[in-house]
Amino acid sequence: MNLIDIKTTQWETTPRNISPNGIHDDEKAKSLGFQSGFVPGIALYEHVCAGLIDQGIGWLESGYVEMKFRKPVYSDEKVVVKLDGDNRTFQLFGDNTDDTRCSGSFVQTAPPPDFPDKEVREQLEEPLGSQALVGEMMEVVREHDASEFTGITSVTGFPTEIDGKPVVPISQWGNPIYLIYEYFGLSTTIHYQGKIWHHSPLFAGEASVTRGLITSFTERNGNKLLELLTEIRSDSGRKVATVEHFSVYELAKK
């Protein structure tokens, strides 16, 4: 893909919180000192994807993005998405351009990392944070309810079809943190950074198979962080995306 062809444009949008879990739940977010539940980062990215696809770019076939989430976006809050074709970047901001909530680059500096061929562990006994977990392969399979797609795409502008085939919105399959939810029963994480290499869309009627492993645990200012390397495929085996995901899984004690 020739990313020089991205056109500079911006538009106002109103993201909606599509998740009831963890930091996206109003009461849980308020208990941690936030105004209300966050709009998931992958849902914010869906707005960006919609703008790229609207320009005629086959983004879901070969696009690449590196993102940082800086401040929360709350449900039904008006924000502006700006695509900068000259610098191959995007910014999502609030009342002014200094109020950056999310930003990213479309410049691919490296191909997707090699994904290891390892046996999937059906369950993991060690507590989250244990170095023994690094490198252990996890897998989660998720079905997607097509009756929910219209409500999502009417907000984000994501296309309902690609090449005449109905597609699953990226917010429904692009977040690999479900591995942590499934294996560790954890519901509260804060996605602060990520990279996505796109390979193909996920089409309606297909389940998503997310396979991945924790590559590191770190700590910053008392916050406990994890990094995931994941590969998402359709249930027929077609590669959909490679994702590096960075989350806070435990906030610093006050």
pTM reported for the whole predicted model: 0.92
Cα separation of 198 and 238, whole Å? Answer: 12
Per residue in 51-107, pLDDT (tens digit) is 999 999 999 999 999 999 998 898 889 999 999 999 999 999 998 989 999 999 999
**Residues with Cβ < 8 Å from 90, sequence gap 6 or more?**
48, 65, 81, 82, 83, 84, 103, 104, 106
CB burial of 152-187 (b: ≥16 within 10 Å; e: otherwise) equals: bbebbbbbeebeeeebbbbbbbbbbbbbbbbbbebb
Range of the domain at 115: 3-250
Per residue in 139-195, pLDDT (tens digit) is 999 999 999 999 999 999 999 999 999 999 999 999 999 999 999 987 778 889 999
**Residue 140, pLDDT score:** 98
Can you give the CATH number for the domain in which 104 is found? 3.10.129.10
Number of domains the chain is built from? 1
